[in-house]
Structure 1
Amino acid sequence: MPGLLRGVARTAVVAGTATAVSNRVSRRQAGRWAQQDYAQQQAQQEYAPQQPAAAAPAAAPAAPSTDDEMTSKIDQLKELGELKAQGILTEEEFAAQKRRVLG
């Protein structure tokens, strides 16, 4: 009986470790893909032709209220902090994203 328990315990430890490693790899890949998507969006915006001032839309959408803007920024900063704490974002990536959120 002790041999059986030892075998079950070893299997549980191996399975738990494999799951933890797999989850970390998945999170890291998702973070890298998100970073690549962000870089592609920035490149597209940089190379997109600029609209002349005369061709501006007639009615601009209403700007969000200051409270909504602040709440959104705080939520984004919390998410960035969580990603950094999980090891998905490096210190440099975190600082760059924080600057982007804060304007």
Structure 2
Amino acid sequence: MGLLRGVARTAVVAGTATAVSNRVSRRQAGRWAAQEQYAEPQQQYAPPPQQYAPPPAPAPAAAGGDDVIAQLEKLGRLRDSGVLTDEEFAAQKAKLLGS
């Protein structure tokens, strides 16, 4: 039983470390890209940057508050995984909360 517990603990630690490392790498790459954008002057004939449509707004909450909480948790997971930016997360959260 001790061996299985040790293997499970190692798997959890390794998975967490990998997730954190990937997130740090994505954030650093984004910062470098932002620095490069400001460091190099834009040429007039360069095509405009491609714009992506924001993710579709979640369906309006049903009568229960549990649905809103579940949707907020889902939005948080999307933000943490890098699918949503902090600004997109804040906008979707405001829509859910009716602000």
TM-score (norm 2): 0.53
Q: How many residues of Structure 1 are paired with residues of Structure 2 in the alignment? A: 73
Q: Which residue of 2 aligns with 1:3?
A: none
Task: Sort the Cα spacing of 1:41 and 1:100 in 2 relative to 1 into closer, same or farther, 3 A.
Answer: farther
Unaligned segments of structure 2, at least 5 residues? 58-72, 92-99
CA deviations 1:33-90 (Å, max 9, x no partner) are 00000000000111121223xx366xx8xx88xxx824xx249xx98621666xx78x
The structure that is helix-richer by fraction is 1
Seq. identity, %: 15
Report the TM-score when normalising by structure 1. Answer: 0.52
Structure 1: any 5+ residue segments left out of the alignment? 1-8
**Are the structure 2 counterparts of residues 56 and 11 from structure 1 closer, same or farther at C-alpha, using a change threshold of 3 Å?**
closer
In 1, distance between residues paired with 2:74 and 2:32?
Answer: 21
Q: Determine the structure 2 residue equivalent to 1:6.
A: none
How well do the aligned residues superpose, as a CA RMSD in angstroms?
3.9
CA distance in 2, matches of 1:84, 1:69: 16
List structure 1 runs of 4+ shifted beyond 2 angstroms.
78-81
